[in-house]
Amino acid sequence: MMTLTNLSLANEGADIFVPDGVSIEEALKRTTHLAVGAHHDDLEIAAYPAIEHCFENCAAWFAGVVVTDGRGSSRTGPYEKCTDEEIRQIRRREQIRAAMLGDYGIVIQLDYRSSEIKGGINGSLISDLKQIVEAVEASEVISHQPLDRHPTHIAVFYHLLEAMRSLPANRRPDSFLGAEVWGKLDWLSSTQKMTLNSGRREHLAQALIGVFDSQIAGGKRYDLGEIGHRHANATFGDSHSIDEFTQASLALDLSDLLNDPSASACEFALDAVDRFRGETKQRLIDWER
């Protein structure tokens, strides 16, 4: 167990970093936007609108949580010969760099192996996340959502949902958003899709994703893919109006899952698919009569 002031995190290798050096307690307390990502760089992809909003904003602070340890990262090119432990350390350093560059209020790396959280609910992770969501009092929480295709993202979503549901109703955030990483959300019904501005500082977005050199030079061009996707979101979201933003990120409002503890995330996801099915049928059916 790693006890860091008011947090007792399960893993010895857990790490907390506060870029501007205030106490951990103060850094947690000032948080207005909390994001929980499965992997290093998920925050910079999924929660970028919140990071951009909080950047050099004395009234808003971003707190990022990375659940896994980076050991399972793919590695080619200059990182090909790195051991699991070496790539873990590299990815931790990259996340710290992103926190400094992005003016984060705090970044917490929980250091779980993916295999420890993918097989079902892990009580230690629930405990870590509960302590964090109780300490921050954030008005907005961003994480993965049940339509994502990555099994570790789904695992993090379910753990965070359980931790968030333990909060008393008056401590829940004003908004609980599920963002896109693996499996984009442009197909979602406009009755559910949220379009967030992520185009105010493209240079910052490029820099934050670019920090994760072990991924990009290692063979995955997240820098090009994600920024290009944000441009596409801004332009292809609505065929009948001019672009509202230069770049946009899409999200799903998960508040209903939080406010009704008996609600099934699986049914919630299938309802989104049914809405897409219904809208598709409505567009086509008259042509086939």
Q: Which residues bind Zn ion (CB under 5 A)?
A: 38-39, 42
Closer to Zn ion by CB, 150 or 231: give it. 150
Q: In whole angstroms, how close is the CB of 289 to Zn ion at the nearest point?
A: 45
Closer to Zn ion by CB, 10 or 38: give it. 38
Q: In whole angstroms, how close is the CB of 12 to Zn ion at the nearest point?
A: 23
- Token pair of 48, please? 């970028």
**CA 83 to mean position of chain CA atoms:** 26
CB nearest Zn ion: which residue? 39
- Token pair of 58, please? 């004395």
Q: In whole angstroms, how close is the CB of 208 to Zn ion at the nearest point?
A: 15
Closer to Zn ion by CB, 41 or 52: give it. 41
- Token pair of 5, please? 């002031």
Q: In whole angstroms, how close is the CB of 182 to Zn ion at the nearest point?
A: 7
Q: What is the identity of the amino acid at 47? A: A
Closer to Zn ion by CB, 39 or 88: give it. 39
Q: In whole angstroms, how close is the CB of 69 to Zn ion at the nearest point?
A: 13
Task: Give start and end residues of each alpha helix (H) in the chain.
Answer: 24-29, 42-46, 48-54, 84-101, 114-117, 123-136, 151-165, 202-210, 213-216, 222-236, 255-259, 265-284
Torsion of Cα atoms, 8 then 14 then 20 then 22, to 10°:
10
Closer to Zn ion by CB, 38 or 133: give it. 38
Q: What is the identity of the amino acid at 11? A: N
Helices 265-284 and 151-165, packing angle to 10 deg = 120
Q: In whole angstroms, how close is the CB of 46 to Zn ion at the nearest point?
A: 8
Closer to Zn ion by CB, 38 or 155: give it. 38
Pick from 48, 59, 94, 62: nearest CA to 201: 48
